[in-house]
Amino acid sequence: MTSPIIHHVSVINRDRYVTFDFYHKLLGLEFLLKTVNQDEVEMIHLFFGDQTGRPGTEFSVFEMPSAPQKQFGTNSLERTIFAVPSEASLQFWRARFEAHDIFNCGIEYYQGRQYLHFEDRDGIQLALTPLRKGEASEHAPHESADIPLEHAILGIDSFQCRVRYAEASARAFMKMHGLRKIETYEHNHHEVTVLGGEDALFGQQLHLIEDRIRDIEKQGAGSVQHIALSAKDRTYLDKVEKMILDINFRYSGIKQRDFFESLYYREPNNLLIEVATEQTNFVKPTGATEDYEAIPLFLPDFLEGRRSYIENQIKR
């Protein structure tokens, strides 16, 4: 059975309602969870994915209403690329984006593959590309009334990072996560290193764009806060923790997140990386999920005693 390299991606937006409409209603992702940031409980945290909520399809958003706009730069987690079933799907999505006034760059060729680059309402950089590996029928996208299943978003195809020293990041990812270097190539005058793995879900890849020219990115609304890589189980997570301690990277220790276990660390170019177990325990909302306000707030057991305080803090 295939396993993902990329467990999930977490980004920063300003408004929960705009986020809900964009990712659930416009992009057609399954709405998995309305909860809060377990480290900052006054912050809304929304999860999207496929019907199963499995790692490799999860995309989460932190709401930070007062966040400044990000300043584009290097040493950044830059772009999430989603898989769609076919090249014809890109035509469907381009027309849909134009109809909803979504910024996009049209269909472009990138290393022999077609891509449709676009942004959400806060400037999160995204893209769509035809499925790299396997058949669309093997997957479980959300069924939406106005998005045909033959064009529905399937999960995360790949992720782009922009870094000053690509070789340093590549060595760390290969050593700690068992990735291998697939190729290097030049794009827009920057060398790109592509990392992948054996039998990865969707054929997932990490692309490291080496950019020593730009200033360091300043995070804000429109930034990727972290990317989570997948750990098969707790044993694998323990091995990663040992390697982090041996290398002496900054890290968080292992955290119990209720729906999975994970840790966070800073890799050589200061990117925030989470490593999360594949055993997820999402309790998806029951009934219709088209009305954001009607969806109950999920809290892990250790926060239930603070529900009244938390619900009062997150009221809008």
**Tokens 């309402």 belong to residue:** 121
Q: Is residue 173 part of a domain?
A: yes
Residue 207 has pLDDT above 90, yes or no: yes
Q: Is residue 220 part of a domain?
A: yes
CATH number, domain at 252? 3.10.180.10
Q: Which tens digit of pLDDT belongs to each residue from 189-205?
A: 999 999 999 889 999 99
Q: Which tens digit of pLDDT belongs to each residue from 2-27?
A: 889 999 999 999 999 999 999 999 99
Look at residue 10 and give its three-state secondary structure.
strand
Q: Which of 54, 61, 72 is nearest to 14 (CA)?
A: 61
- The tally of domains found in the chain comes to 1
Q: What are phi and psi of 166, to 5 degrees?
A: -65, -35
Q: Which tens digit of pLDDT belongs to each residue from 156-182?
A: 999 999 999 999 999 999 999 999 999
Q: Is residue 13 part of a domain?
A: yes
Q: Is residue 23 part of a domain?
A: yes
Q: Is residue 77 part of a domain?
A: yes
Q: Is residue 1 part of a domain?
A: no
Tell me what pLDDT residue 169 has.
Answer: 97
Order of strands, edge to edge, in the sheet holding 76-84?
Answer: 104-110, 113-119, 125-130, 76-84, 155-163, 205-210, 190-196, 180-187
Look at residue 304 and give its three-state secondary structure.
helix
Tell me what pLDDT residue 28 has.
Answer: 96
Q: Which tens digit of pLDDT belongs to each residue from 271-291?
A: 999 999 997 776 677 666 789
Q: With contact defined as beta carbons under 8 Å apart, do 164 and 74 qualify? A: yes
Confidence of residue 269 (pLDDT cuts 50, 70, 90): very high
| Sign (positive or negative) of CA dihedral 39, 249, 258, 204 | positive
Write down the pTM of the prediction: 0.95
**What residue type is assigned to position 213 of the chain?**
I
- Provide the phi-psi class of 123: left if phi over 0, else alpha when psi is between -120 and 50, else beta: left
Confidence of residue 229 (pLDDT cuts 50, 70, 90): very high
Q: With contact defined as beta carbons under 8 Å apart, do 6 and 77 qualify? A: no
**Tokens 């300003």 belong to residue:** 14
Domain housing 106: 6-313
**Tokens 């190729």 belong to residue:** 183
Residue percentage of the chain with pLDDT more than 70: 98
Confidence of residue 85 (pLDDT cuts 50, 70, 90): very high
Residue 1 has pLDDT above 60, yes or no: no
Q: What are phi and psi of 171, to 5 degrees?
A: -60, -40
Tell me what pLDDT residue 112 has.
Answer: 84
Q: Is residue 54 part of a domain?
A: yes
Instruction: Tell me how crowded residue 9 is: count the other CB atoms within 10 A of its CB.
Output: 23
Q: Which tens digit of pLDDT belongs to each residue from 102-152?
A: 999 999 998 889 999 999 999 999 999 999 887 888 898 998 889 999 999
**What residue type is assigned to position 14 of the chain?**
R
